[in-house]
Amino acid sequence: MIMMIVAATAATVFAKKYDMLYKNPDAPIADRVEDLLGRMTLDEKVGQMNQYVGVEHFRANIGSIKPEDLKNNTAQAIYPGITPDTLEKWTEQGIVGSFLHVITLKEANHLQQLAMKSRLAIPIIFGIDAIHGNANCPDNTVYPTNLGLACSFDTAMAHTIARQTAAEMRAMNMHWTFNPNVEVARDPRWGRCGETFGEDPYLVSLMGAATVKGYQGNLNSRNDVLACIKHFVAGSEPMNGTNGSPADLSERTLREVFFPPFKAGVDAGAMSLMTAHNELNGIPCHTNEWLMKDVLRGEWKFPGFIVSDWMDIEHTYDLHATSTSLKDAFYQSIMAGMDMHMHGIYWNKYVCELVREGKIPESRIDESVRRILNVKFRLGLFENPFADEKTTMKVRLCPEHRATALEAAHNSIVLLKNDGILPLTAGKYKHIMVTGINADDENIMGDWSAQQKPENVVTVLEGLRAAAPDATINFVDQGWDPRNMDPAKVSAAVDAAKNADLNIVVAGEYMMRFRWTERTGGEDTDRSDIDLVGLQEELIEKVAASGKPTILILINGRPLGVQWAADHLPAVIEAWEPGMTGGTALADIIYGKVNPSAKLAITIPRSVGQTQMTYNHKPSMYFHPYVVKPSTPLYPFGFGLSYTTYKYSNLHLSSSEIASDGTIDVSVDITNTGSRDGVEIAQMYIRDCFSCVSRPVKELKGFSRVSLKSGETKTVHFSITPDKLRFLDRKMQPIVEPGEFKVMVGASSDDKDLLTASFNVK
């Protein structure tokens, strides 16, 4: 009773001092949330659950897009019958909770100022697709995209990039990134492979968790932003390889392949999650009660809020046809567990009607609003709703962040083939011909990148010229568009190749969003094959036919089947989307300033016919091999070359048996047997030899970046613990079965690169 009186007295003091308790920064956040929630009207509550595109984005698309185009358009947006002025008025009325596609600090501050005029002055939370840095906005550091970052197997770097991204976002008054994408990429046709951390659940889980922690920190400072783990779930194994198409998967596959990275993200503290475009086993993810309530809330105890993806609640009506109207779609989604709607003008009207009609309890609305307000309070938006335009550029694009971007690019570039031509010796090749669609284009930054000032981006051509000032570099431009290459320009490159000492072709895909309909890679840019588009293959073959050494550099966000180049060229480099310093990073590797260390986070198939080609397949997958062409990948998961060589030896287990609660220490000696210092990424795989349900032939369960000087030997240790042996039995219960297991340690997932030992589970 005394405690209740003290609490009531404290609340009264707070209220008197600050007029309203929720405005007191020293009051407990839970109390502030309840105080504010109690003052809100239904319209204000439902408004907090709705998000709109920014007014400048809206203005830019008026007249350029028709209402009927909205169903299939995920880049532009308009609100038929509504003007930008109306949207600003709603913000002043306090019935807008969030904006996305606000890409300037000036607009963010302007909209926040409007929100401050509302009755309760609840701040806006601004969301942005800051996938590899806040790259979707100009004048920010652009890091390598997630797939390249994953090839570094460097969780500390993932954390650092996320921290720096958070600082640049807050310097622009942006608070919420729609990243990390922790989907497990299983189909190279899918255009969003580059947005993920690859094909392995273990690697994706660790990279995703590090990224979440980097963004959010303690979620209580002005340098923290809200992370969003997405897309829940299974959109990365679409039926026909296209974004948003159905996924039809067993619960076993979901729980063993696709769920683990999301569970890791929840455990890492992620406070928002986005559901997936696709339907899962016939039920759209946006109205899937099993996913949102049973798994996410019930099993994993997720405390944050769930946000829809772009118009996907509406698509349960106009696409999936599992809702009978927009109003029914909103009803189904909210009752299944949805908290915030991205984006649109009908939400507020219909959801308020559903509550007033008694179909949705207002208490259910309160649940969602509590979660949203909790995050806004934790981010300090009530105390600091604005960012300073005078100091913003002291943070964005600062030297420290650019240095991180360069280091990350160095560590993300995979050397796939090298017959000894690399690294180039300064002065050996005095006449170099450079060509290809990605040789001199900002496309090197990758998907989710806005146009940047030219001085902020180093293209491949610029990087090579800076690294080799004494060489004559002849650039033969092929344009940026692979689908419309000019045969005359191809011929010009072929002629120039004959007069060069060395030829470099920079090929791949085109991802820049400001030419949305002309891209060949990235979101909603899916392929029916994985070949090089247009005349690129012809360009490579004809340049190589000059008889002069030819190097291929790939800039792309999905695995490409470059079989001919792998068979005929002396060197192939997979650069992925290396970011704004990518040209410098590539030149540093080509000229030997940096020894490449990256390893593939995704398998590269020989052709689209090998889909699905993943290293952790089941034992029967190739019981009957393909005829005519090999059943092996072009390059396996975990593969990557160096300018030095490494020897693995003395694989040792601390015990030949492990109890259900025990640990085995695995050690291996790695020796740098070459003449250069380097970094080797050692990998540990495990296989359950005999089990009650079929298990993968191997699964990654440990990795380590090992720095080794020439001639140096280090002993590397891994731990085998029961959680790394656990799987789901026939009744879908987690189990560690007794019996024999194999542990494999080496340089890649390829059997020939692995040392093997056995142990038993008691």
Which amino acids are annotated catalytic? 309
Indicate if the alpha-carbon torsion angle 102, 107, 108, 112 is positive or negative.
negative
Give the C-alpha separation, 744 to 264, whole Å: 24
Buried b (16+ CB within 10 A) or exposed e, 380-393: bbbeebebeeeebe
Are residues 394 and 131 in contact, defined by beta-carbon separation less than 8 angstroms?
A: no
C-alpha pair distances (Å), 16 with each of 10, 23, 34, 40? 10, 11, 17, 19
Q: Return the closest-CA partner of residue 666 out of 644, 645, 681, 650.
A: 650
Q: Which of 539, 536, 511 is nearest to 526 (CA)?
A: 511
Identify the three-state secondary structure at position 656: coil
What's the alpha-carbon Rg for the chain, to the nearest Å? 27
* 5 Cβ contact list (under 8 Å, min separation 6): none
- On the CB side of 281, CA atoms within 13 Å amount to 11
Q: What residues contact residue 556 under an 8 Å CB cut-off, 6+ apart? A: 194, 508, 509, 521, 574, 576, 577
% helix, strand, coil for the chain, step of 5: 35, 20, 45
Rounded to the nearest angstrom, the gap between the alpha carbon of residue 155 and the centroid of all alpha carbons in its chain is: 14
Nearest one of 677, 42, 31 to 362, comparing CA atoms: 42
Q: Are 346 and 352 in contact (CB under 8 A)?
A: no
Element (H, E) at 573: strand 571-574
Report the interhelical angle of 582-590 vs 460-467 (nearest 10°): 50
Give strand pairing partners of 635: 604
DSSP 385-401: ----TTTHHHHTT-HHH
Peptide bond just before 761 cis, omega within 30 deg: no
**Could you tell me which of 176, 165, 170, 61 has the C-alpha nearest to residue 126?**
176
Residue 408 · residue 588 · CB < 8 Å: no
- Whether residue 176 contacts residue 125, with contact meaning beta carbons closer than 8 Å, is answered with yes
Closest CA to 333 of 357, 304, 309, 298: 309
Which H helix or E strand runs over 29? helix 29-39
DSSP symbols for 60-93: HHBTTB-GGGGGG-SS----TT--HHHHHHHHHT
Amino acid identity of 458?
V
Amino acid (one-letter) located at 634: L
* Contact indicator for 242, 187 with CB cutoff of 8 Å: no
Q: Is the peptide bond before 57 cis (omega within 30 degrees of 0)?
A: no
Sheet holding 678-688, edge to edge: 657-658, 754-761, 739-746, 678-688, 699-708
Distances (CA, A) of 713 to 464, 649, 651: 34, 10, 14
